[in-house]
Amino acid sequence: MPEVTRHSTSELPVGYREFLSQVKAEVKGARIRAARSVNTEVIELYWRIGKLILARQEEQGWGTGVISRLSADLRHEFPGMRGFAQRSLVYMRTFAAAWPEPIAQGPLAQLPWSHITTLLDKVKDPDVRTWYELEDLRNGWSAAVLAHHITNDRHTRVGGAPNNFLELLAPAESDQTRELLQDPYDLDFLALDPDHTERDLEAALVGRLTCFLAELGSGFAFVGRQYKLSVGSSDYFIDLLFYHLALRRFVVFELKAVAAQPEHVGKLNFYVNAVDDFLRRPQYGDGTTIGILLAADRDDVAVQYALRGLQTPLAISTYTNHRALPDEVRPVLPSVDELTEVVRDIRINRSPVAKE
């Protein structure tokens, strides 16, 4: 094996490190494109096999038993190739039936097979399936995230919250920004008490930030909780502050565990203006800050009046909390203080002094 010659850093020509970074980026990019090309070819192969199975069953009346025989023959012929199990062939037939037109060069061919089977299992409406197909490709969801969004009917919730984006943002910006909104946000994973407070909601969201980011959608970066802004001679604290990487703008969340009120909208408007003045950097391409009031409920008529005349892009959305413990169950469970006392007793009993 030839000896690898290593050069000291003192022998490197000027600009070599930047040159090496460029070459490495090209190699990584080629590997990614190669992987995508292989995936596309596999997906198209599965569609063509499914199409052949469908055609023979329709033309010659072959039953499902032929799929079992086909699976065995293919695995015997191609022992090192995966994907020819009987269940996989059934999926291929279902795949070809669900998308009867050729998929070559289309967005579907770029999705992994596990995502396609998830769409086949969980989405029956072709139009809704297409919506998730495109969103999956655009956002780069994992199969688990895709399944989560389907289960929680994300397609019915996106862009539905009352807002004033159309009046204040350019058409392209308005459309993109509305896609950030959901109504309601599915916060069932928090399992909050029915009489929770804003602080309870905020603490739970930060404690399960990964779940909340998944619910928000791709592109959100968490900036801070109770983010401090000094305006005039007073300090103010934003409940949750995010930055959206794709849209290059801050997103302010004001949390309310009660129905949205006009004064809540006014407070959110104040925060958005302050972030625009103190944090936004137009010279680096930051867009106008967005404000989202996340409330337990709202009156749409009152909301429209509260938004009228404002010059900051705001939206008022709601959230669900269906997994909270029912009223008849909560009284029989131990309180936080009681659980703390139990833990303290266990620690004392397990200490070396207690054992002696």
Is 120 in the same domain as 184? no
In a domain, 225, yes or no: yes
DSSP structural state of residue 290: E
The whole domain housing 116 covers: 38-156
Total domain count, the chain:
2
pLDDT of residue 347: 47
Q: Answer yes or no: do 47 and 85 share one domain.
A: yes
134 with 265, same domain? no
For residue 232, tell me if it sits in a domain. Answer: yes
Same domain, 139 and 174: no
Which residues have CB under 8 Å from 309's CB, separation 6+?
Answer: none
> 13 by DSSP, 3-state: which?
coil
Position 170 scores a pLDDT of 81
Residue 315: give its domain's CATH number: 3.40.1350.10
Beta-sheet pairing, 234-244 with 220-231: antiparallel
Strand ranges for 245-324 from DSSP E: 249-259, 290-297, 314-320
Query: Residue 323: what pLDDT?
Result: 55
In a domain? residue 31 = no
Does 209 lie in the same domain as 73?
no
Task: Output the six-digit token pair for 50.
Answer: 């499914």
Domain assignment present for residue 126? The answer is yes
pLDDT recorded at residue 327: 52
The CA distance from 126 to 119, in Å, is 10
Side chain identity at residue 21, one-letter code: S
Coil/strand/helix, residue 289:
coil
Please report where in the chains the tokens 């391409």 appear, as a residue.
285
| Residue 290: inside a domain | yes
Query: What pLDDT score was predicted for residue 345?
Result: 56
| Phi, psi values for residue 29, rounded to 5° | -65, -40
Of 102, 129, 156, which residue sits at a domain end?
156
Torsion 84-90-93-94 (CA) sign: negative
* pLDDT value at residue 3: 52
Do residues 73 and 162 share a domain? no
Pair (219, 132) in one structural domain: no
Residue 213 is predicted with a pLDDT of: 85
The continuous run of DSSP H or E covering 236 comes out as strand 234-244
Is 17 within the bounds of a domain? no
- Let me know whether 140 and 185 are in one domain: no
Q: Which of 122, 156, 190 is the last residue of a domain?
A: 156
Which residues lie below 8 Å from residue 233, measured CB to CB, with a gap of 6+?
A: none
Task: Collect all residues with Cβ–Cβ distance below 8 Å to 261 and sequence separation of at least 6.
Answer: 302
Alpha-carbon separation of residue 215 from 79, 220, 268, 300 (angstroms):
42, 10, 21, 23
DSSP-assigned states of every residue in 159-224:
T-S-B-HHHHS-HHHHHHHHTT-BSSEE-GGG---TT--HHHHHHHHHHTHHHHHHHH-TTEEEEE
One pLDDT digit (tens) per residue for the chain, 356 residues: 455 455 555 578 888 888 888 888 888 888 877 777 888 889 999 999 999 999 888 887 777 778 888 999 999 898 888 889 999 999 999 999 999 988 877 888 889 999 999 999 999 999 999 999 988 888 888 888 889 889 888 888 887 788 888 888 887 777 778 777 888 888 887 878 878 888 889 988 888 888 888 888 888 999 999 999 999 999 999 999 999 998 899 999 999 999 999 999 999 999 999 999 999 999 989 999 999 999 999 998 999 999 999 999 999 999 887 654 445 444 544 444 554 555 455 445 544 444 43
Q: Is residue 354 a part of any domain in this protein?
A: no
Instruction: Specify whether 168 is located in the same domain as 300.
Output: yes
Residue 6 lies in a domain: no
**CA contacts within 13 A on the Cβ side of 22:** 5
Closest CA to 155 of 168, 136, 170: 136
* 182 and 283 co-located in one domain: yes
Residue pair 123/98 in contact (Cβ under 8 Å)? The answer is: no
Same domain, 168 and 70: no
The pLDDT score that the predictor gives to residue 58 is: 82
Q: Is the domain of 247 the same as that of 316?
A: yes
